Structure 1
Amino acid sequence: MDKYDAIVLGAGIVGVSAAIHLLRRNRSVLLLDKGLPGEATSYGNAGVIEREGFYPIVFPRGLGELYRIARNEEARLNYNRRFLPRLAPWLLKLRKATGQRGIDAYAEAMNPILSHAAAEHGSLAGKSRAVEFFRGTGWLKGYRSIASFEAGTKAHLALADHFGVRYQVLSNHEIVDLEPDLSPVFARAVLWPESVSVSSPGGVTKAHARLFELMGGAFAQGDAQSLRRENDLWVVDRASGPATAPDVVVALGPWSMDLLAPMGYRLPFAVKRGYHQHFRPRGDAALDRPVVDVDHGYVLTPMRQGYRITSGIEFDERDAPPTPIQIERIMPQARALFPLGDAIEREPWMGARPCFPDSRPIVGPAPKHPGLWLDFGHGHLGFTLGPATGRLLAEQITREMPFVDPAPFSALRFGR
């Protein structure tokens, strides 16, 4: 039976980052996943490290927006009506958590760690030889009317001013000057130059996983559900036999509660599904940065695999069959925005995002079990925050002074 100082369950960007940060603190670490690093949630996203992600996903309050959502014809949001009764308690918590007080609390909690996100990525990328994936061109959020720009940016830009985060409001002509191959469909756009993007989030995660092994970490495939407590140690099973450690980190993303619920944890957890698909450009059309079509709820971003379109949110059972209707709804708008050619994959890829109603992850000790640590629930900011929360968790495990206040990310905010 192999003994380690720590076992990390989950080899996405969150788990890999936590494992590296523990290695850096002279801990022996086993990283365990049922698959290979970077091939699940960490593969399918827009690849943006958001500096301005201090505005949460909010529950809609306007009657017009609620009516459109009720019709279930939105590209930004799709849901299975039969799933709504099970989701309703979480939605009510979301509504409570995203009033003005909740939005302000989220911004104050998230801004410190978001201010370090790009630097923490850079710290790992420099060692893992992943720098080639990164580009410092920011990203562009476009609005198709002056009305939608004013409604969608007022509060967000006020927070940016408050925290000193740079942005640039662009007119229709300035948008096309910046990205000449975009059609002039946006009335206004906001350029966020401090955000960073990558051409392959899965590639970045795989590069970090290779670094982890080069540093002396051990990776194995196995079932996190085999976790159990024996003689004050945590034990997991691998093909080569069991492994033990006094500390174990749950970084299983949307699968985290599969492990934690049977252990007695009742956290207000939900999963948001999403889709992406890659397309070839027509001719020599190109983009230098990700572009968000805010009114229609998708991101168009240049990736190594092609031009990736990522959809908005879908609420359904995590493991229900894919229903990529949002990609179908998006495509006419996306083709009108940018000269897209043929799809590269036959079917869209589907993934899931683990979310709490206050949009903050849990990063810290589990309240009921000594040596059990939690690092999940990052929502749409998993790729953004993975290296930063990995550092924050490792600092708590090794009893260092945390580089940001961990209290806003404590599991105790939801009770014991």
Structure 2
Amino acid sequence: MGQSVLVLGAGMVGVSVALHLQRRGRAVLLLDRQGPGEGASFGNGGLIQREAVFPHPFPRDIGELRRIAGNRAIDVAYHPLALPGFASPLLRYWWHSEPRRYAQAQAAHARLIETCLDEHLALARGTEAEALLRPIGWMRLYSDPRMLEAAAAQAAIAAREHGVGYALLDGPALAEAEPHLLARRAGAIHWTDPLSVSDPHALTLAYAKRFEEAGGRFARGDATTLRRAGAGWQVQAAEGVQEAAAVVIALGGAATQVTRPLGYAPPLFGKRGYHMHYRLQGNAVLHRPVLDTESAFLLAPMRAGIRLTTGAEFAAPDAPPTPVQLERAEPVARRLLPLAERVESVPWMGVRPCMPDMLPVIGPLPGQAGAWCAFGHAHQGLTLGPTTGRLLAEMMTGEAPFLPPEPYRPDRF
């Protein structure tokens, strides 16, 4: 058992961890109650976000807070009865967003983001995953010239301090780049570095296939059955009890269901999101993903159609889906792009696992020898899966980590 590892959670993060460990000579069993990539990795904007070097702080502007509190926005919605359960992590989020503390978090976050393209391409090279990674970037559209000017100033800082590539487009240049947009905008920031994924689920499956080709195994099972087994760990899989010397908890928003019984309960909270695919009318085309700042939704061209994604919804974990943000966004999106009928009858819903200090949890689980954490990536699980996989695998196998791991250590909470 000395070289064996259980990886719990088969999203982009868990699959990447499993693949990196398998390549380093560990015997890895990847376990999930669903198939690989069927959780939060299935539903997202499909962007490997090299430009996302500035995490989103908690709003501190009174006008913005009043807008959100009205609970009628496209980008944020909440269930009023669920808010008491979010009070503690959101207060911590507000505290960590203070400018000095935010600057520390931003620096650590950027170190991860700066690696994302290289780490994805290293896993995708020579596989069908390469064709899924489109080097087309994405655009953020602006109606207000003053907001566009401020965004351009922020983009210049990202370029200067973090090597981020971008292009500033005025209204006519935007119309030329995306001629089928129905509404005029003042301009756009075209983030040129990010990779746009035509099928995020297929990308996770491609990495999972590479893991199995390297000798790894996948099994369905219940991660909440994790228990000590002597000096190692055991879990119940469909094929019976499985044991290993070490375990990695990469369960996204469900991670604390497993860590809490082990004495570790970090302030992880979930933000629900929805998506729906649409066909386009006639010969209309969307060449690259676009995010409309005024309305705060993303439209992304994918294999299944044009994916419309929502912002964040705060709800109890067991609350039924309430896709009100999609209902609010769809008529606005139809005024921006000639959308035809919906592809699916029911919207997809998933949970983004967030930490109040805007940094993921990567490293040894406190007080539990042989247990490791890899969760809390918020909106960047797809982006940072391979980076996290490499960093954690290097830590677990005694290699020198290619990034300083201290800012992400679990015992910071």
Q: CA deviation at 1:134?
A: 1.2
1:348 corresponds to: 347
Amino acid at match of 2:109: M
CA contact (8 A) 1:51 1:195 kept: yes
3-state SS of 1:296 partner: coil
Q: What CA distance in whole angstroms lies between the structure 1 residues aligned with 2:162 and 2:211?
A: 34
Counterpart check, 1:239 vs 2:238: yes
Q: CA deviation at 1:152?
A: 5.1
Q: CA deviation at 1:209?
A: 1.0
Q: CA deviation at 1:140?
A: 0.5
Q: What CA distance in whole angstroms lies between the structure 1 residues aligned with 2:283 and 2:234?
A: 54
Q: CA deviation at 1:148?
A: 3.0
Mapping 1:38-57, distance limit 5 Å: 38-57=37-56
TM-score (norm. length: structure 2): 0.97
CA contact (8 A) 1:75 1:326 kept: yes
3-state SS of 1:332 partner: helix
1:336 corresponds to: 335
2:406 corresponds to: 407
Q: CA deviation at 1:127?
A: 4.1
| Aligned CA distance change for structure 1 residues 152 and 315 (closer, same or farther; 3 Å) | farther
CA contact (8 A) 2:53 2:106 kept: yes
3-state SS of 2:158 partner: helix
3-state SS of 1:226 partner: strand
Mapping 1:13-412, distance limit 5 Å: 13-151=12-150, 154-155=153-154, 157-412=156-411
Q: Kindly provide the CA deviation profile for residues 51-104 of structure 1, in whole angstroms up to 9, marking residues without a partner as x.
A: 121212221122221111111111110001111112111111111111212332
CA contact (8 A) 1:362 1:410 kept: yes
CA contact (8 A) 1:55 1:106 kept: no
Q: What CA distance in whole angstroms lies between the structure 2 residues aligned with 1:15 and 1:172?
A: 42
Amino acid at match of 1:343: R
Amino acid at match of 2:331: P
Q: CA deviation at 1:158?
A: 2.3
3-state SS of 2:369 partner: coil
Q: What CA distance in whole angstroms lies between the structure 1 residues aligned with 2:412 and 2:156?
A: 28
Aligned length: 413
Question: Tell me, which stretches of 5 or more residues in structure 2 are unaligned?
Answer: none
3-state SS of 1:225 partner: strand
CA contact (8 A) 2:54 2:110 kept: no
Q: What CA distance in whole angstroms lies between the structure 1 residues aligned with 2:304 and 2:322?
A: 22
Q: CA deviation at 1:232?
A: 0.4
CA contact (8 A) 1:273 1:318 kept: no
The alignment yields a C-alpha RMSD, in angstroms, of 1.5
Q: CA deviation at 1:319?
A: 2.5
**Percent identity, aligned pairs only?**
44
| Aligned CA distance change for structure 1 residues 291 and 126 (closer, same or farther; 3 Å) | same
CA contact (8 A) 1:222 1:237 kept: yes
3-state SS of 2:207 partner: helix
TM-score (norm. length: structure 1): 0.96
CA contact (8 A) 2:10 2:36 kept: yes
Q: Kindly provide the CA deviation profile for residues 184-225 of structure 1, in whole angstroms up to 9, marking residues without a partner as x.
A: 432121111111111000010011111111111011111111
CA contact (8 A) 1:4 1:243 kept: no
CA contact (8 A) 1:54 1:106 kept: no
| Aligned CA distance change for structure 1 residues 164 and 366 (closer, same or farther; 3 Å) | same
Q: Kindly provide the CA deviation profile for residues 22-49 of structure 1, in whole angstroms up to 9, marking residues without a partner as x.
A: 0110111000111111111110001100
